[in-house]
Amino acid sequence: MIRLIGYFFGIGSVLFIFVAGAVAWYVERTAEGLPDYQVLAKYEPPVTTRVHASDGQLMAEYASQRRLFLPIQAIPDLVKNAFLSAEDKNFYSHPGIDIEGVGRAVMVLAKGGRMQGASTITQQVAKNFLLTNERTLDRKLKEAILSLRIEQAYSKDKILELYLNEIYLGMGSYGIAAAALAYFDKSVTELSVEEAAYLAALPKAPENYNPFRDYDRALDRRNWVIAQMTANGVIDQQEASAAKEKPIKVNPRPSGTYLASSQYFTEDVRREIVQRYGSKALYEGGLSVRTTLDPALQKEARAALQNALVAFDQQRGYRGPVTTIDIGSDWGAEVGKVEALADVPQWRLAVVLEANADRVSVGVQPRRAISGALDSQRDIGTIALSDMKWALRLDTRDQKGSVRSADQVLSRGDVVYVEKAGDGDGYLLRQPPKVQGALVAMEPETGRVRAMVGGFSYDQSEFNRASQAYRQPGSSFKPFVYSAALDNGYTPASVIMDGPVSLPDGNGGYWTPQNYGGGYAGPSTLRLGIEKSRNLMTVRLAKDMGMDLVAAYAERFGIYDHLKPYLPMALGAGETTVLRMVTAYSVIANGGRSIEPSLIDRVQDRYGRTVYKHDQRFCADCNTREYDGQAEPELVDERDQVLDPMTAYQITSMMEGVVQRGTATRVKALGVPVAGKTGTTNDEKDAWFVGFTPDLVCGVYLGYDNPQPMGHGATGGGLAAPVFIDFMKEALKGKKPVDFKVPEGMELIAVNRKTGMRASGSGPDVIMEAFKPGTGPADSYQIIGEDEIASGPGGGQISQQAEQAITQGAGGLF
């Protein structure tokens, strides 16, 4: 018997050794070629890039995976313990694997069951970072081996940090920081017990516990986590009971762009980041971008431009509905299918339910719930005839002319835009304008763009007319012609003949520019020429200087990369952008210093290191720790001086005259020192106004995307200047008026503004004119270009290339 026992023991021992050897061989073979867990030390997951306004407001987020990395020290204990209770309550005591759980999983597998998880947080880190999701014994063994190695190499806190930042928690969010924002629009430090428990319920299957799909299932899972937190001593019974009583209130944070008024600005920032650092850095690099945008100014800029575009468009009449639908039994569902302009929130789509002679009944498009479902409430409103009078002028494909009643304009089933009128159920009829425009506001000293609007609505058109649209600036270019003259021997009191000019056009004919409105003023000063925007004087001045000089100055200011030296270009026939024009005016406003326009103040990488800064001025002593009687530190400004500061003041003073006595007198309503210049192109196709105070430059442009006449009288002073006024009223609110600074050494002499001669006494035509040292009013009356009516060596004849830039006929630009 003993021998038999020994026999079986021997066989058992051999089998045990054999099995143990086989297991050891299997484990060793499986361990070969495992991923290198050391890469976890250099963990750099895709992180969201965030774009902020100058005051810190979030403007936009860009990410391939919405994730915000948080170090373990920044994660509240409540959140950590919620996840530990739900996923791995023994995390801080086990060696990386749960022996008991592994045993249960093996037993189930041995009985023919499905491979179970039994994964600790460390195993989930191993799987998520280094392995695949396949359910096989090989993968589970690799996971266990890697977990043991990870536990030996890293602290528990580091492992938990990796886990909490990597896990996918639904709604496009990776990691707990992004999930807290995605579900509750909160930071992790603001989460309540029930909110932390809900997030901790998600790692296993976030889509299964989506409250919009299966609220009861999500609630049960959350309450189970709360119970686990109670059992583990994280919260007491009273806290648990209170948390379980609360519903799951998901408040998703919107993705993409957060400041609707800044979408044109934000898109230009996005393109610049991609150009500088590449798409991967934008969508995965976790950059922090601080822009130059002032949200308050941006809001006012957009409102000023939108109001002007709508007002102009309504004067042209009603072009018809957005679309027409079959109302059916539920008009709300039908109109809900029509896509609205999301970035014009004050406008709503509505469908006409009934149209009478004096009023129209409309059903307003229902709003969408967080889940995407249409609200069940149906709001019905009224458009009175008095609130749609502008639409009585029809400009539709089928009908043009005027009508008298509302039912001749709108019909049942028409889908239109409406805007609330007061507190009742009344609405105003609206239509997205066909005419477009742009506005740019900039700090002249720094080039920081404080506001940028590229059109009526980004949802309507993503084309940015502030930075992408190249249009003729017309007379708003003239200050740079006059700057070149003032920089090269002329004075504001120099006299030029305002009379007919006729030049060969290179095709056997003649180019005959005219002043706006026709007529000639005869001999006039440079000041009067720019105040009244005289085309003929400008052509003569450019011809007298030579267009090569004018072209050089235009390029020096950054208006054009290369300007052909043809005389029509002196009237603004070359194409440029609003952003470039505002930058050029900023050079004049800051005293002649070159600037680079900037939408971005600084960029930091995911670790907070500054990788880009717009302000490149150097200050050697700004970081001195102690004050010992030394002089105040000074910023070293190494920017190029592209214009004499005295010239800059002279042209500024002349443009103040444009506002006081010239083509932009309505801008006087601002009641502060303002300089500026209007611009209008042939047939009133483009309307411009660029103006500035000592601290802010603003440029406005209006016109159609496909250039066409806007109608007689649609000038820069009539269309663009009012937008400037509306914006600047708000921008200057609460600020003290500031005078333009006169450079040291300039002499102010009383002159007659019409003749340019020295004046004595006072009168409506006597002004104080600024002269550089060694210059002054002329002692004798000299007229530039008195006898010239045709081309000469100074101007040259117009080539076929120049002809393409101007309009044929008696016109010219003005």
**Terminal CA-CA length for the chain:** 122
- 405: three-class secondary structure by DSSP: coil
104 CB-side CA count, 13 A: 8
Helix (H) or strand (E) holding 612: strand 610-613
422 CB-side CA count, 13 A: 8
Question: Contact, 355 vs 403, CB < 8 A?
Answer: no
741, with CB counted inside 10 A (0-12, 13-18, 19+), is: exposed
Q: What is the token pair recorded at 417?
A: 């835009």
Residue 31: CB partners within 8 Å, gap ≥ 6?
A: 142, 145
3-state SS, one letter per residue, for 138-181: HHHHHHHHHHHHHHHHCCHHHHHHHHHHHCECCCCEECHHHHHH
Question: Contact, 293 vs 269, CB < 8 A?
Answer: no
Q: Which of 641, 652, 715, 731 is nearest to 678 (CA)?
A: 715
Identify the active-site residue in 85, 262, 288, 475.
Answer: 475
Question: Contact, 444 vs 692, CB < 8 A?
Answer: yes
Q: Which of 500, 544, 545, 547 is nearest to 519 (CA)?
A: 500
- Looking at the DSSP bridge assignments, the partners of residue 769 are 749
Q: What is the token pair recorded at 392?
A: 């009585």
110, with CB counted inside 10 A (0-12, 13-18, 19+), is: exposed
Residue 628: CB partners within 8 Å, gap ≥ 6?
A: none
184, with CB counted inside 10 A (0-12, 13-18, 19+), is: buried
Question: Contact, 181 vs 68, CB < 8 A?
Answer: yes
Alpha-carbon distances of 197 from 28, 189, 193, 561, rounded to whole Å: 40, 14, 6, 60
Q: What is the token pair recorded at 224?
A: 């189970």
Is 87 annotated as catalytic?
Answer: yes
- 19: three-class secondary structure by DSSP: helix
Q: What's the rounded Cα separation, in Å, for the pair 61 and 255?
A: 7
Q: Which of 332, 329, 424, 425 is nearest to 377 (CA)?
A: 332
Residue 24: CB partners within 8 Å, gap ≥ 6?
A: none
Between strands 414-420 and 323-324, the pairing is: antiparallel
Identify the active-site residue in 61, 85, 87, 457.
Answer: 87
Q: What is the token pair recorded at 348?
A: 């709503």
Is 475 annotated as catalytic?
Answer: yes
Q: What is the token pair recorded at 602?
A: 């600084």
130: left (phi over 0), alpha (psi -120 to 50) or beta: alpha
**Known catalytic residues?**
87, 475
